[in-house]
Amino acid sequence: MKFITRKTWPLVAIAISIAGLCLRYALFSPNQERTAEHYSQSHLYSTDSTLLKQRVQTINSLLNREEEYRKRVGECQQAVANWEKSFFVGSGDSATILLVSIVEELAAKAGLAVKNKTLHPSLSGPTVEGWERIGVTIEGRTAFRALTAFYSALIAAPKSLCVERMELHLDEYTGLLSFKLKLYSFTHLP
């Protein structure tokens, strides 16, 4: 090659190096048709290696904590299962009947005289997905001691029964309390 003289060979070497780099890293291409592999390759060049390192770090951290997550999920599942056991299963009506029977039983044991009951097979209010709020409102007159006994029984009942509203009025002449308790619980729809 006549043009490669002593003065021009470094220029030729540089030109070849630049061309090699351009081809190697596909800085330009004659057409825009690119294969899927080409896309993944270009993605490889465009992604910042710092971001990739951070992603790998996150992955390693997640992998290291996998057992811990499994354990925590197990614990949560157990806790939720315990709660589920303490609530009702079935439609709102059937569950409400069961709830009322439990309330009646507890009231009877505590000596609470219930004069009026209003059933609520579907109560509005916050709940968890797949669950429905049910309840009952009981009214009557009773001594303070019977009321506290009923309340204690309510806490210790096998099913979780919560109080949404409580109204107590003292009849100062008789010393009796007229009460109105709105109780509620949750039922899991089958």
Residues that bind another protein (CB under 8 A): 6-7, 10-11, 13-14, 17-18, 21, 24-25, 44-45, 47, 49, 52-53, 55-56, 59, 62-63, 65-66, 69-70, 72-73, 76-77, 79-80, 83, 87, 126, 128, 148, 151-152, 154-155, 160-170, 172, 186
Q: CB nearer to another protein: give 56 or 108.
A: 56
User: Shortest Cβ distance from residue 50 to another protein (Å)?
Assistant: 10
User: Shortest Cβ distance from residue 20 to another protein (Å)?
Assistant: 8
Q: CB nearer to another protein: give 175 or 190.
A: 175
CA distance 53 to 107: 65
CA distance 97 to 103: 10
CA contacts within 13 A on the Cβ side of 41: 9
**What is the 8-class DSSP label of residue 65?**
T
CB 142, CB 124: distance < 8 Å: no
User: Shortest Cβ distance from residue 177 to another protein (Å)?
Assistant: 9
Q: CB nearer to another protein: give 77 or 101.
A: 77
Q: CB nearer to another protein: give 170 or 189.
A: 170
CA distance 20 to 23: 5
CB 42, CB 34: distance < 8 Å: yes
Q: CB nearer to another protein: give 2 or 6.
A: 6
CA distance 162 to 183: 6
User: Shortest Cβ distance from residue 33 to another protein (Å)?
Assistant: 23
CA distance 140 to 174: 14
User: Shortest Cβ distance from residue 108 to another protein (Å)?
Assistant: 20
